[in-house]
Amino acid sequence: MTVSKMAQNLIGSEIIRVAGEVNAMIAKGEPICNLTIGDFNPSIYPIPEELRKGITKAYEQGHTNYPPANGVAVLRKAVVNFTQERLGLTYPENDILVAGGSRPLIYATYLALVDPGDKVVYPTPSWNNNHYCHLSGATPVEVKTRPENNFMPTAEDVRPHLKGATMLAVCSPLNPTGTMFSKKDLEEICDLVLEENRSRREGEKPLYLLYDQIYWMLTFGNAEHYDPVSLRPEMRDYTVYIDGTSKCFAATGVRVGYAFGPTVVMDKMKSILGHVGAWAPKAEQMATAEFLQNPEAVDSFMNEFKPKVRESLDTLYNGFQELKAEGFAVDAIEPMGAIYLSAKIDLAGKTTPDGKVLETSQDITFYVLHEAKLAVVPFSAFGSGKDLNWFRLSVGGASLEDIKASVGRLREALQQLK
């Protein structure tokens, strides 16, 4: 049977492939420390109690019919107030679009802005931009980033690629690295976007910035989240924000995301998602609206949740630094935000006990999985080359005890290599 060219050439998720093998090993009873999926184990990280009760109450009150295609009014109003109070960003209620998590919103941004063949610029590693380009017919322009800058793009990195581009897609804190823009770097990138738009003729499509900040509430230490419009108010006409509750409230399965940006863009995104039917369930929307309007409950949850996430990240980071000090070819970047640690496991050229030479990041992934019982995702799953031996370690699905034990098993696996 013949299918579309798009479907024929669609690449499956490498994360899901790794997760499939992990799940098969777990089913056999093997003690895997699973750091692959950007999700939370509800037994370790439950959603806020007030949100859970609110969802139950909303179903009991009969909120089981279709919500408005752009989100229930009470939630859009709550998002307006929450965004104003927490970020200092003021957007009208009609420019808020609610959907079933952030993915439909990112896809709708692509479909609203990008015509087939249009250039979309994005850094690697980054989450799913290569797939969204494929789905929308965009011409992908990948910008390699460097560990020296925490894998975040700089103005100099993106400058050569913006002429004629339709969209620049960035994320901070970044999935997969857990790193963030500095104020200076984001300011300079915004200045480039503004400069490029000033150079375009009247009637020419602007250069837009897709700014995914779904992890912005999860920052650690002295790391501070910055956003384009707060730094450069002129960016308001060109910036589409992606936000939501999935990560900051451990509510990935609750599926409440929201976007906001220029009215002309948001109106088209509403129409696209209205046809797709990608709305969040009404009861979850009602409960989220109530929770966002309870600042004491939000702060109480975050004050308990963030230190717990950070402890797991710090345990991994410190473990890698100890292994590095012992002479092993590993390293890690100090956690800044999100639920991810960027870890270097540079085992290329090493020989396993059974005589296999590790060559690619995939080889290293599966060696570490089978010998250390540690499941990680290579940056090649996020657009980087297979020769880049850096990995995403996601802590939301593993207990602190499992993480501690995995570091010891990794040491043993490294010692077996020649």
| Partners of 209 in the β-ladder | 168, 239
Question: Mean per-residue pLDDT for 295-305?
Answer: 98
Mean residue pLDDT of the chain comes to 96
Q: Give me 149's structure tokens.
A: 């800058």
Structural domains of the chain, ranges and CATH numbers in brackets: 5-45+300-416 (3.90.1150.10), 49-294 (3.40.640.10)
Question: Mean per-residue pLDDT for 355-377?
Answer: 96
Give the whole-number percent of the chain exceeding pLDDT 70: 100
* Residue 61 predicted with pLDDT over 80: yes
Read off the pLDDT band of 15 (50, 70, 90): confident
For residue 93, give the nearest of 65, 108, 72, 113 by alpha carbon: 72
**Residue 93: per-residue pLDDT:** 98
Read off the pLDDT band of 18 (50, 70, 90): confident
Give the whole-number percent of the chain exceeding pLDDT 90: 94
Q: Give me 393's structure tokens.
A: 């370690």
CA 414 → CA 25, 168, 249, 322, distances in Å? 21, 39, 36, 13
**CA torsion angle for 343, 12, 255, 88 (degrees, to 10)?**
50
* Residue 53 predicted with pLDDT over 70: yes
- Whether 103 contacts 255, CB under 8 Å: no
pLDDT (tens digit per residue) in 74-90: 999 999 999 999 999 99
- Say how many residues make up the chain: 418
pTM above 0.95, yes or no: yes
**Residue 9: per-residue pLDDT:** 87
* Residue 1 predicted with pLDDT over 70: no
331 φ, ψ (degrees, to nearest 5): -165, 175
Question: Mean per-residue pLDDT for 24-43?
Answer: 93
**Residue 13: per-residue pLDDT:** 73
pLDDT (tens digit per residue) in 119-170: 999 999 999 999 999 999 999 999 999 999 999 999 999 999 999 999 999 9
* Residue 21 predicted with pLDDT over 80: yes
* Residue 112 predicted with pLDDT over 70: yes
Under 8 Å CB-to-CB from 365, ≥6 apart: which residues? 18, 376, 377, 378, 391
Report the 10 Å Cβ neighbour count for 74. 15
**Residue 22: per-residue pLDDT:** 87
pLDDT (tens digit per residue) in 187-203: 999 999 999 999 999 99
* Residue 257 predicted with pLDDT over 70: yes
Instruction: Classify the C-alpha dihedral 185-87-266-279 as positive or negative.
Output: positive
**Residue 11: per-residue pLDDT:** 80
